[in-house]
Amino acid sequence: DSGVTQTPKHLITATGQRVTLRCSPRSGDLSVYWYQQSLDQGLQFLIQYYNGEERAKGNILERFSAQQFPDLHSELNLSSLELGDSALYFCASSPSGRGNYGYTFGSGTRLTVV
Amino acid sequence: ELKVEQNPLFLSMQEGKNYTIYCNYSTTSDRLYWYRQDPGKSLESLFVLLSNGAVKQEGRLMASLDTKARLSTLHITAAVHDLSATYFCAVDNSGGGADGLTFGKGTHLIIQP
């Protein structure tokens, strides 16, 4: 157990639907990062939050959004889902906004859009 | 745009042999990370390399970083079957961790008895 908790582990949904993925960072970590892993795109950085504020954006689609709550857990919202959104979504956390101590990844949420 | 290239992307080797995975990146950065991923599983942190010349070793794995050459290597010594996995290198986009990580495509390593 890495200390980063992601729920649900698996999600199957239909095109056009909306889903929410949840992440609880490791205790004491203030930064949360979301990544998407797919066969064709590999691992891609989506977005980072630090202590409740958006810190950086990567290759995140406009249909996707995220937030970090006061208790530091984060949610990634995916809407108007398309078949191509099927992927493994990882959350990672770090103590600060810098990578001095590395990044700890959760076990991921496997999203299947049918 | 930061690009991270790993090679080889696929490696089949025998137990007991040595081999090296290479990771090149395109822009200045002094922070590089190596991860291991088993099929369908999460990313396990192997090494955090934070400065030029950094060398770290854990068991049969050793990683090094040359920031001037923009090159990191992951060396496997006397490979064993349990090391079969996909290995990723990743680089901090800004050098400060504020923009997430850019990952290589991964090296799929199979170690055969």
Give the pLDDT score at B94. Answer: 64
| Mean pLDDT computed over A21-50 | 94
pLDDT tens digits, B50-95: 888 889 999 999 999 998 999 999 999 999 999 999 999 999 876 5
Report d(CA A36, CA A58) in Å as an integer.
11
More confident residue, B62 or A57: B62
pLDDT at A4: 96
Which of B42, B100, B104 is closest, CB to CB, to A105? B42
Mean pLDDT of A78-99: 91
The pLDDT mean for chain A works out to 94
Picking from B26, B17, B30, B22, the residue whose alpha carbon sits closest to that of residue B6 is: B22
Whether B41 shows a pLDDT value over 70: the answer reads yes
Interface of B with A in 71-110 (CB under 8 A): 88, 90, 92-93, 96-106
Instruction: Look over chain B and give the mean of its residue pLDDT values, rounded to a whole number.
Output: 91
Q: Which of A34, A43, A104 would best serve as a mutation to test chain B binding (most B beta carbons within 10 A)?
A: A43
Higher pLDDT, A78 or B68: A78
Asked if residues A94 and A102 have their Cβ atoms less than 8 Å apart, the reply is yes
- Output the pLDDT for position A31: 92
**Band (A59; pLDDT cuts 50, 70, 90):** confident
C-beta separation of A38 from A87 below 8 A = yes
Do the bridges between strand A109-113 and strand B85-92 make them parallel or antiparallel, or are there none, so unpaired? unpaired
As a whole number of angstroms, the distance between CA A81 and CA B42 comes to 23
Between strands A104-105 and A87-94, the pairing is antiparallel
| pLDDT for the residue B98 | 54
Interface of A to B at Cβ within 8 Å reads 2, 31, 33, 35, 42-48, 55-56, 58, 90, 92, 94, 96-108, 110
